[in-house]
Chain A
Amino acid sequence: MDKVTKIDQSSVDELYEEAGYWHVNTGDQIIHAKRMSGRFRTIKWYTATVWLIYFLGPYLRWGDRQAVLFDIPNRKFHIFDITIMPQDVWLLAMILLFFAIMLAAVTSIAGRVFCGYFCFQTIWTDIYTFIEEKIEGSPAKRHKLDKMPWNAEKIRKKVIKHSLWLLIGMLTGIAFTTWFTDAYEIWGDYFTLEAGIVAWTSVLMFTLGTYILAGFMREQTCFWLCPYARIQGVMYDTQTILPTYDINRGEPRGRLVKGNTVEGNGDCISCNQCVAVCPTGIDIRHGQQEGCITCGLCLDACDSVMDKIGKPRGLIRYSSHEELQGKKPQPLHKRPRVIIYFSIMLLAASGLLYGLTNLGTFDLKVIHERQPLFVKLSNGSIQNKYILKILNKTDKNMHISIDVDGPENLQTQGLKEKTLLPSGKLSSFTIFIRIPMKNLEDDRTPVKFTIHSYESYDDSVEYQSMFYAPKF
């Protein structure tokens, strides 16, 4: 600290005043975080716009239906050109696996990026506090307003704020339901009060849920409800980049005296701005902690102060533990965690891709009759009964042929040349197979059912079943 910078004492006095409000919050006090513009603030607004898809997505049309529609009553998920039925629900497992591992991968590289920039809890809370600030003013004013006795002014402000909050909650709920029922139809149903009980309940639950979680619970949700905050410790390592207070540069910290840093002190001037802006109310200078959602707002705050006192930016910055100790960060492709996570993600993505490109036209299940397993006919042949359940997964009616492969002299009964398979429906057929005893070599003989579509012969599906006979 050779050069002592002369700055305006009064400009930092304000900051010290604001800092006076901070103390460790265990849910007994509402955190009114200060809002500041800055790099990460801007990024946050951009990432928040991802959620516009949630609100606007359902209004996209695809042909004569909604582009993405999760039709629960009809057990069909429409995603653009693809229709997924319950039989293909294993794809969901792949999607979940992909995103679960992606969460782990991103966390190991750059910390809780999801929490800070994408999580609905963070973003809805951000929007709620944005409204709060617009109506009730800065954090200091809000603290004052909260302590004030009830008067017309306070009632007016509170009513407006809570109405807006509830409105956002309601829109969130309605947006949720539009993913499951045709978006244009359900709006009509809401206005004519004709929506079903499930829709109303969903809207009510979402309205209250959003209102309570984003309006009142806020950071307490991250602290005590969210499991992700609790397991972050095992997802980080020493190479994970996180918002970090550079302790070597900042300490010993001390207030400015008459606009000058005290000789021997570090760059941190104890202005507490990093704490004032923190939406979860933590002090980043205590190091990494479960309350940190890595939103980067303290970086903006600190940088602005560093600018003000003429020090280089980055006293609080995205940095890994190793980097802070002067080690060079390892490239991503040399970190085992990253390699393993990305391998699993690749696997899940491949499975998903395979599944989506091989959804198939039909789904065939052959159920062998159990009672009786087999019947001896008057000519000595053995007869088995099978129930074929065939699902037409396409949106067109189809005609199919059913073929049975098995031992020589196999005869079938109940097969039709050209069978109609209505679109989207499960059709059931009973088929008898008869085989003379002399053509059987064992009490169990494999038989194969093959289904071909007349509309496109390549669309076929097979099912291996068993033909039972008396014990040999």
Chain B
Amino acid sequence: MWDPIWITVKLAFVTTVILLALGTPVGWWLARSKAWWKEAIAAIVALPIVLPPTVMGFYLLIALGPDSPIGQISTEIFGRALPFTFAGLVVGSVIYSMPFVIQPIRNAFEAIGDRPLEVAATLRASRLDSFFSVALPMARPGLLTGAVLGFAHTVGEFGVILMIGGNIPGETRVLSVAIYDHVEALEWGQAHILSAGLLVFSFVVILSMMMLEKKLGRRLR
């Protein structure tokens, strides 16, 4: 029973870290750029919200499979294609949870506006300096929201995982898939424990996020 939980937490954690590292510059660019095509990028980032997970999983399976260019590269490096590996789950989750991390970060950067950065510039802070000393700390509530949403959303991932990860116990079998298996096998007791656990987890996550946001938001206003 503990294997799926551990894999799920590991997957959500790695995914969140990657998304924060990736989402901060992308969110910054989406908030600040004046390029006319930036909304097209924003739409691509938001696509996983509306795309059925099976569709995404299907394309990922093809894109990462051993016959694809990416698959060939990963075979060169890791000795195998990404589907049915933990690394493959990470790639899928990063794409699947991307909008839930980038959107709050973008909103937080947009909410800062030009003024604090102009003030920083008049106080001798270079652009990079003001990003780290003004923009990032001021966007902290948004970064936190993004991290929590990304983590929680990855924990609840099912369709994409089933499509690309399969169901290898101890390697790619995550919580949601484990619950599905228990139900299929009519092991209601196990399904109950895991489901109730996820329910409580989700509630606690949402509640603490709302409270934190309120607290941080008040501090920054």
- Do A and B interact with each other, yes or no? no
